[in-house]
């Protein structure tokens, strides 16, 4: 079984690539989705977050926007939150990989926004970095609800630069040339990995 990590900086098109990989019948573990589940009222992180960040709690779970505001420019609080979430995300990821191994899956995908930043690449056999030119990335990011120039640059500062991700990657898929191009590139990659020996 090959474990392929998929990552990319903000607004590079990683979600689109993950959706395409899913359509190509690859089991995917989505770290962001796992975080959503962990923060729900019945989620494993809820009580710990409620205890440490009471201002971010709402009736139906954690208010992610409020929590984001609280930790965004406070490195200590951000680290506190990461110490709650990251071990639980890793636990869910490892459970997923073991399960897929039992199912005899040939290729499994780990969709992780901060793969290199959290050391998650060590759990992967190969890493795919999703990338686009900076002007496209910026355009996409600023089109998002609530995004500002300042927030965009603050997020970039916390992420490993795109050129460094590309340098470390085993594979790079461009998303600035249209969806059809990206899909064809992914199809070739999936076929290559599915046929790879050892």
Query: What is the per-residue DSSP string for 37-55?
Result: HHHBTTSTTHHHHHHH-GG
Same domain membership, residue 84 and residue 50: yes
Cα 34 to Cα 40, 57, 70, 72: the distances in Å are 10, 18, 21, 20
Q: Of 90, 124, 96, 155, give the one whose Cα is nearest residue 6.
A: 124
Q: Same structural domain for residues 192 and 163?
A: yes
112 and 90 belong to one structural domain:
no
Can you tell me which residue has the tokens 């191994």?
101
Domain that holds residue 65: 32-99
Both 140 and 195 in one domain: the answer is yes
Exposed / middle / buried, residue 65 (Cβ in 10 Å: 0-12, 13-18, 19+): exposed
36 and 21 share one domain = no
Quote the pTM value.
Answer: 0.92
Do 94 and 54 share a domain, yes or no?
A: yes
Enter the tokens of residue 77. Answer: 């609080």
Which pLDDT value is given to residue 59?
A: 82
**Each residue's pLDDT expressed in tens, for the chain with a length of 198 residues:** 999 999 999 999 999 999 999 999 999 999 999 999 999 999 999 999 999 999 999 888 899 989 988 998 798 999 999 999 999 999 999 999 999 999 999 999 999 999 999 999 999 999 999 999 999 999 999 999 989 999 999 899 989 999 999 999 999 999 999 999 999 999 999 999 988 755
Q: Verify that 194 and 120 share a domain, yes or no.
A: yes
Residues in the chain: 198
Domain count for the chain, please give it.
2
* CATH number of the domain within which 145 lies: 3.40.50.300
Say if residues 97 and 33 touch (Cβ distance below 8 Å): no
């Amino acid at each position: 079984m090959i474990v392929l990590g998929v990552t990319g900086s903000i607004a590079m098109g990683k979600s689109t690539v993950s959706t395409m990989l899913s359509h190509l019948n690859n089991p995917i573990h989505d770290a962001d989705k796992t975080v959503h589940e962990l923060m729900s009222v019945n989620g494993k992180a809820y009580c710990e977050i409620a205890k440490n960040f009471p201002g971010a709690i709402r009736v139906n779970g954690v208010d992610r926007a409020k929590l984001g505001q609280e930790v965004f420019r406070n490195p200590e609080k951000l680290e506190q939150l990461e110490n709650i979430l990251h071990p639980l995300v890793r636990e869910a990821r490892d459970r997923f990989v073991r399960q897929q191994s039992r199912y005899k899956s040939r290729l499994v995908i780990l969709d992780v926004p901060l793969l290199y930043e959290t050391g998650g690449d060590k759990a992967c056999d190969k890493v795919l970095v999703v990338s686009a030119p900076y002007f496209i990335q910026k355009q996409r990011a600023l089109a998002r609800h609530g995004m500002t120039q300042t927030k965009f640059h603050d997020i970039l500062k916390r992420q490993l630069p795109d050129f460094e991700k590309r340098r470390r990657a085993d594979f790079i898929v461009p998303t600035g040339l249209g969806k059809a191009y990206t899909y064809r590139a992914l199809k070739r990659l999936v076929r290559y990995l599915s046929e790879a020996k050892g």
